């Protein structure tokens, strides 16, 4: 487990009343740097925790804080049996102007992401596939400066019950083969003490042709060795060069540690992948990219690599979040991002303009191809336009590429076998209407 010193540890009464859940939390608390008392709370005390104990105070981009501490730890259970009551509680808090999140109410175990379907506000701006996403945690220990998921780490611990519901969801959606866990957390940090992630991995190990995807920047994989995973958990490392990993993602594994962790996982039989995401162009980005790719291929055998520049915000927001390290950035690219201010047609791909991102992707692709001529390389969360530009070089299109965490991206696949939008089927069994991409592919 990570070394950590949280300012407080809270556990909902439903956690402490269950011997197995309580044992996991107690094991974890024993391993903290300094002893902490577990503060048990009830639903009625949640408003007090949010207001007086300021649970959500530091949920802001960590680069904007003068000091970043380990997050408060909070353990909770999903309320599968009394979801209506949990929703009513949430409404009451919202009506009283109290900011609350689904995980604090015991909600949102699984959520439908309607990417590129009607109702997706970003539909015209990025390629991504509609799918179910699954959650056990919200919050993170890694302190990436650009990220706002510090301050509070909520972990849901009723994994036994969770797996029963997840199985029902999977049976309703046979078209979805892979399930990305926690796109708003980095789950290995509390393991193996907490004992939740291993239980989920072993549940997937009992399934046929269904895969769990863990997306992480961790160094912590030694404990995964002896689990009965059956090759059904894919671990995707978000990989960055030495400067970015050390200075901008300070509590995550370094470049070398992430690759070593991937090596350990591969040795233990887990399929592994890399995402260079987000790529922050630091001064020596070309050399660091080449060296990182060299190291990754010298130690491991990923089946897919995805690449994605730092995006999703304008240049001023990026400068605010990266203020303490802004001098590390490539000055020419920073200038181009500034010149791009207010001009980007696509709000999602800001702050770096298309020509900067094209140069970065071309470099990564050519460095990867020096090591492997056929591994699928995809653009992650990019625009339709960028995909049109790179389709020939990639040998895949926006509608058939294989990526790190797409719902059909099973291990070893070279290209999707069916259209990712038309294969998705709604809960009620109705086919989701085919979506015409906004660009010709």
Residues that bind ligand SF4 (CB under 6 A): 140, 142-144, 147, 149, 185-186, 217, 249, 252
Q: Could you tell me if 87 and 105 are in contact, meaning their C-beta atoms sit under 8 angstroms apart?
A: yes
Indicate the DSSP class of residue 224.
Answer: G
> Which lies closer to ligand SF4 via its Cβ, residue 322 or residue 396?
322
By C-alpha distance, which of 182, 176, 248 is closest to 207? 176
- Return left, alpha or beta for 135; rule: phi > 0 is left, psi -120 to 50 is alpha, else beta: beta
How near is the Cβ of 252 to ligand SF4 at its closest, in Å?
5
- How far is Cα 355 from Cα 370, in angstroms, rounded to an integer? 23
> Which lies closer to ligand SF4 via its Cβ, residue 217 or residue 275?
217
- How far is Cα 290 from Cα 90, in angstroms, rounded to an integer? 48
How near is the Cβ of 319 to ligand SF4 at its closest, in Å?
18
How near is the Cβ of 399 to ligand SF4 at its closest, in Å?
27
Indicate the DSSP class of residue 329.
Answer: B
Task: Tell me how far CA of residue 134 lies from CA of 186, 201, 222, in angstroms.
Answer: 13, 13, 24
Per the DSSP assignment, residues forming a β-bridge with 126 are none
- How far is Cα 149 from Cα 222, in angstroms, rounded to an integer? 25
> Which lies closer to ligand SF4 via its Cβ, residue 257 or residue 359?
257
Backbone angles phi, psi at 185, to 5 degrees: -165, 180
How near is the Cβ of 142 to ligand SF4 at its closest, in Å?
4
How near is the Cβ of 201 to ligand SF4 at its closest, in Å?
19
How near is the Cβ of 80 to ligand SF4 at its closest, in Å?
25
How near is the Cβ of 19 to ligand SF4 at its closest, in Å?
31
> Which lies closer to ligand SF4 via its Cβ, residue 2 or residue 390?
2
Helices 331-339 and 354-371: crossing angle, nearest 10°?
Answer: 140
Tokens of 365: 């692709």
- How far is Cα 137 from Cα 140, in angstroms, rounded to an integer? 9
> Which lies closer to ligand SF4 via its Cβ, residue 65 or residue 432?
65
> Which lies closer to ligand SF4 via its Cβ, residue 86 or residue 153?
153
Q: Could you tell me if 261 and 218 are in contact, meaning their C-beta atoms sit under 8 angstroms apart?
A: yes
> Which lies closer to ligand SF4 via its Cβ, residue 249 or residue 260?
249
> Which lies closer to ligand SF4 via its Cβ, residue 55 or residue 149?
149
How near is the Cβ of 108 to ligand SF4 at its closest, in Å?
16
Q: 131-134 and 110-113 as β-strands: parallel, antiparallel, unpaired?
A: antiparallel
By C-alpha distance, which of 356, 400, 406 is closest to 381? 406
How near is the Cβ of 2 to ligand SF4 at its closest, in Å?
11
> Which lies closer to ligand SF4 via its Cβ, residue 214 or residue 334?
214
> Which lies closer to ligand SF4 via its Cβ, residue 173 or residue 273?
273
> Which lies closer to ligand SF4 via its Cβ, residue 192 or residue 278?
278
- How large is the C-alpha radius of gyration of the chain? 21
By C-alpha distance, which of 322, 307, 319 is closest to 276? 307
Place of tokens 């046979």: 174
Tokens of 236: 């995707």
How near is the Cβ of 267 to ligand SF4 at its closest, in Å?
23
Give strand ranges (E) for 88-224: 110-113, 131-134, 137-138, 152-156, 178-181, 211-216
Q: Could you tell me if 70 and 5 are in contact, meaning their C-beta atoms sit under 8 angstroms apart?
A: yes
Residue 306: enclosing H or E segment and its boundaries?
Answer: strand 305-309
How near is the Cβ of 144 to ligand SF4 at its closest, in Å?
3
């Amino acid at each position: 487990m990570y070394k950590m010193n949280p300012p407080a540890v809270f556990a909902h009464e439903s956690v402490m009343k269950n011997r197995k859940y309580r044992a996991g939390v107690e094991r974890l608390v024993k391993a903290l740097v300094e002893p902490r008392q577990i503060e048990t709370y009830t639903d009625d005390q949640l408003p007090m925790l949010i207001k007086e104990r300021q649970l959500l105070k530091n949920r802001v981009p960590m680069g904007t804080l003068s000091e970043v501490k380990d997050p408060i730890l909070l353990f909770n259970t999903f309320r599968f049996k009394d979801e209506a009551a949990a929703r009513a509680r949430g409404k009451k808090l919202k009506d009283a102007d109290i900011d609350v999140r689904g995980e604090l109410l015991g909600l949102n175990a699984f959520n439908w992401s309607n990417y590129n379907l009607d109702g997706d506000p970003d539909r015209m701006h990025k390629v991504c596939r509609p799918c179910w996403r699954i959650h056990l945690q919200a919050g993170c220990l890694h302190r990436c400066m650009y990220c706002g998921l510090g301050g509070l780490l909520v972990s849901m611990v009723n994994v036994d019950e969770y797996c029963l519901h997840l199985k029902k969801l999977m049976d309703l959606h046979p078209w979805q083969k892979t399930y990305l866990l926690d796109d708003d957390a980095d789950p290995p940090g509390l393991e193996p003490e907490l004992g939740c992630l291993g239980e989920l991995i072993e549940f997937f190990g009992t399934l046929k042709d269904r895969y769990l995807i863990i997306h992480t920047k961790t160094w912590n994989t030694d404990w995964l060795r002896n689990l009965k995973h059956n090759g059904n958990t894919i671990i995707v490392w978000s990989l960055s060069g030495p400067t970015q990993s050390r200075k901008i993602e300070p509590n995550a594994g370094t470049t070398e540690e992430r690759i070593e962790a991937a090596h350990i996982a591969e040795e233990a039989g887990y399929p592994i992948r890399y995402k260079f995401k987000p790529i922050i162009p630091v001064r020596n980005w070309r050399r660091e990219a080449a060296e990182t790719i060299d190291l990754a291929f010298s130690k491991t055998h990923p089946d897919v690599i995805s690449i994605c520049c730092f995006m999703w915000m304008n240049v001023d927001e990026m400068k605010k979040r990266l203020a303490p390290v802004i001098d590390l950035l490539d000055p020419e690219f920073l200038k181009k991002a500034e010149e791009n201010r207010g001009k980007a047609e696509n709000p999602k791909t800001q702050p770096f303009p298309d020509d900067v991102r094209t140069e970065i992707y071309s470099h990564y692709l050519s460095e990867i191809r020096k090591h492997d001529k056929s591994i699928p390389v995809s653009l992650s969360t990019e625009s339709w336009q960028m995909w049109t530009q790179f389709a020939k070089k990639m040998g895949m299109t926006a509608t058939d590429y294989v990526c790190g965490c797409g719902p059909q991206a099973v291990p070893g696949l070279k290209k999707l076998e069916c259209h990712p939008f038309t294969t998705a089927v709604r809960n009620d069994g109705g086919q989701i209407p085919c979506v015409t991409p906004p660009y010709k592919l």
